[in-house]
Structure 1
Amino acid sequence: MNAPITKRVWVTGASNGLGLALAERLLEQGAQVTASGRPSEQLQALADQHGPYLLVQDYDLSDPAQAAAAARQIKDHWGAIDCLIINAGTCDYLASDTPAPALFEGIVSSNINASANCLASAQPLLKQGSSPQVLAVLSRYSALQIHEPSQPARPDNSLTALFASQRAALGAHAIDLTVVAPQSLKVPVVPVQVIPEQWTAQSAAEVILKHLPDRAPDLVLEALGVNSLWPLPK
């Protein structure tokens, strides 16, 4: 077993895909993990395998009261966290019969709400952690801007704008923030074109966690076949 990158980690969106792979890889490295997500056979199998090292939660984090309850349970269980990983690529709690035109807006708006709630609820836990950091992973779906995309991005209509607005506040408490997202056409992170790759959930998780100790402000993740990383609700 490798030495853990970080000791106590809260991973959201962990029922399948990339979130599940991140939780699994962290457990393999010896971390204590809280995995929030809709109940799934894969997540239950992970709990059966790793027992006391994994706390499984079923909360709708887009609801502020449920996000606060999740944080209280984590405090009671681990005492604090060293890292919050917000896997904001899709949404576990959209209704399965959501019509296609409303699906992507639902993904964006629910992730904006869930991310804001998690950041607020997790900050007291992070302040008590060791070298605390937040890692946010966005997909091409969730990085979209809603409500008049021609207008300026704001925390209430853009997930990237939400995290940008929180960076200074987190930094004031010595909490580093890394945002992993597709290349923005409006504000490119790197000056060259990034070619999309055929990532699997496991290969993406391995690379993301490899770069976690670097604490870079931004990382670019361009993926082909994004459903393998962030399965859409069925």
Structure 2
Amino acid sequence: MNRFTDKTVLITGGTSGMGLATAHRLVAEGAHVIVTGRTRTRLNSAVQKLGPGASGIVADTADLGAVDALMQTVQDRHGRLDSLFANAGTGTFLPFENITEPDFDHGIDVNFKGVFFTVQQALPLLTDGGSIVVNASWTLHRGNSILTLYSATKAAVHNLARTLAASLAPRGIRVNSVSPGYIDTPMYPADALTETETTAVTGQIVAGRFGRPEEVAAAVAFLASSDASYINGQDLVIDGGLIGAVPA
């Protein structure tokens, strides 16, 4: 498929995991993909893996000055964006009573404020008829005792996506979110769990396994493409049946 031929796509947090897998998918479908990362070393490594269809810009989306500089660089180099995957995020996995103000500020800065202002600053570059996909999480649909802060930030960006779907409709810009389940990524590596922990996690999932970043990438590519032209303001859950069904 070449659904993204001559399209320019920005992926924040694109140096590993779901962001990098999505970059690979979109490059393979003809896009020029711009990925961001916080360190030059990781960014260079990602761009080398992606090949000539990709470029990288160092940016920490929790820093609004860095977001401004990012969009200026995109404008100078490419002039426009056709799609945005607001993927950069962080995890704060602590019981509610143990969360400190610095934990709170960091989680909000990266997962909500960073997404909010990344989208805001990208809007002048987005073509009419373009698309935005926001990375949310299955945790916004189901309570978990150690994911209080993380879940709240992901619920916030999902609601933001729905609101933006309405506000950007006059420009024909579609906005959706994805809610991945347990995906084997550097943030939550499957091989770092004990056998008991793995059994506890996979026992909740109808598919009986962790998801792969490539499976999330396929969903993001669909939502960002014209194949999803009548899908707007939605959340696509990619969780192997975690929240929707009970394993037999």
Which residue does the alignment assign to 2:114? Answer: 114
Q: Do residues 220 (structure 1) and 232 (structure 2) align?
A: no
Deviation string for 1:134-181 (max 9, x for gaps)? 01121246887659x9xxx8x998222332332222223221111112
Contact kept, 8 Å, 2:71 with 2:121, in 1: the verdict is yes
Structure 1 pair 210–162 and aligned structure 2 pair: CA distance change class (3 A):
closer
Structure 1 pair 145–83 and aligned structure 2 pair: CA distance change class (3 A):
farther
Separation in structure 1 between the aligned mates of residue 30 and residue 108 of structure 2, nearest angstrom = 33
Separation in structure 1 between the aligned mates of residue 116 and residue 223 of structure 2, nearest angstrom = 24
Aligned-partner SS, 1:62: coil
AA partner of residue 17 (structure 2): G
Deviation string for 1:66-124 (max 9, x for gaps)? 11110110011111010011115536xx9xxxxx7459743344211111111111000
Which residue does the alignment assign to 1:80? Answer: 80
- Aligned residue pair count: 200
AA partner of residue 58 (structure 2): D
Structure 1 pair 75–42 and aligned structure 2 pair: CA distance change class (3 A):
same
Which residue does the alignment assign to 2:158? Answer: 160
Q: What is the correspondence of 1:86-101 to structure 2 with a 5 Å cutoff?
A: 86-90=86-90, 101=99
Structure 1 pair 141–162 and aligned structure 2 pair: CA distance change class (3 A):
same
Which residue does the alignment assign to 2:125? Answer: 125
Which residue does the alignment assign to 1:190? Answer: none
Contact kept, 8 Å, 2:10 with 2:35, in 1: the verdict is yes
Separation in structure 2 between the aligned mates of residue 209 and residue 173 of structure 1, nearest angstrom = 21
Q: What is the correspondence of 1:154-193 to structure 2 with a 5 Å cutoff?
A: 158-181=156-179
Q: Which protein shows a greater Rg?
A: 2
Separation in structure 1 between the aligned mates of residue 154 and residue 16 of structure 2, nearest angstrom = 27
Which residue does the alignment assign to 1:206? Answer: 218
Aligned-partner SS, 1:9: strand
Higher mean displacement: 138-147 or 17-26: 138-147
How far has the Cα of 1:3 moved from its partner? 1.3
Identity in percent: 24
Which residue does the alignment assign to 1:134? Answer: 132
Separation in structure 1 between the aligned mates of residue 240 and residue 154 of structure 2, nearest angstrom = 26
Unaligned runs of 5+ in 1: 95-99, 184-193, 226-234
AA partner of residue 53 (structure 2): Y
Separation in structure 2 between the aligned mates of residue 41 and residue 203 of structure 1, nearest angstrom = 26
Higher mean displacement: 39-48 or 112-121: 39-48
Structure 1 pair 41–28 and aligned structure 2 pair: CA distance change class (3 A):
farther
Aligned-partner SS, 1:22: helix
Aligned-partner SS, 1:110: helix
AA partner of residue 69 (structure 1): A
Unaligned runs of 5+ in 2: 93-97, 142-146, 182-204, 243-248
TM-score, normalised to structure 1's length?
Answer: 0.70
Structure 1 pair 45–160 and aligned structure 2 pair: CA distance change class (3 A):
same
Separation in structure 1 between the aligned mates of residue 166 and residue 118 of structure 2, nearest angstrom = 17
TM-score, normalised to structure 2's length?
Answer: 0.66
CA RMSD of the aligned region, Å? 3.6
